[in-house]
Amino acid sequence: MSKKLRNPVLLFNLFFLAVTGWLHAADKTPQSVKVTVVSILAGSTGDGFDPKLKGLEQQLRPLKHHSYRSLKDETQTIPWQGNKTFEIPGGRSLTITTQEFQNNRIGLKIHLTQGEKPLIDTTVKIANKGNIILGGPAHEGGSLVLSISAAAQ
């Protein structure tokens, strides 16, 4: 290599490695997680798809219900390893705790209750900016379906 260029190149490479290292480190420790919970009523009668749920249509169709209606859409920012509670229709509440961030996947602890009664406790890892569907509880003649999505910030 031309010696006159060796030092700037070396410096640039070191700087570049430092920056990528820093970015990599930053990737591992997001400040918070933006969690969105969409509450959906999946009905066994009627026919119709709520236009508000357009982004979820493909994911909901396989549930083979006749209709899908958006009941509530709530977004909260949860600090890293903190938790927030979402009010879910039917006197239910969903508490989400952020746990870990690895390989661009977010670990979430999900706790769904009906009043005081726990319905389900689960720990999942979902893709950053991805979602998981949690459904089943009966609601207004149909089933309550929750789409829980998370994005690291």
Binding site for other proteins (CB under 8 A): 1-9, 12-13, 16-17, 20, 42, 58-59, 62-65, 90, 103-105, 107, 114-115, 117-141, 143
Which residues lie below 8 Å from residue 113, measured CB to CB, with a gap of 6+? 92, 93, 94, 95, 119
Residue 64: CB minimum distance to other proteins, A: 4
Residue 3 or 54: the one with the smaller Cβ distance to other proteins is: 3
For residue 28, the minimal CB distance to other proteins (Å) is: 12
Q: Which is nearer to other proteins, 21 or 82 (CB)?
A: 21
3-state secondary structure labels for all residues of 80-127: CCCEEEEEECCCEEEEEEEEEEECCEEEEEEEEEECCEEEEEEEEEEE
CB of 33 to other proteins, least distance (A): 14
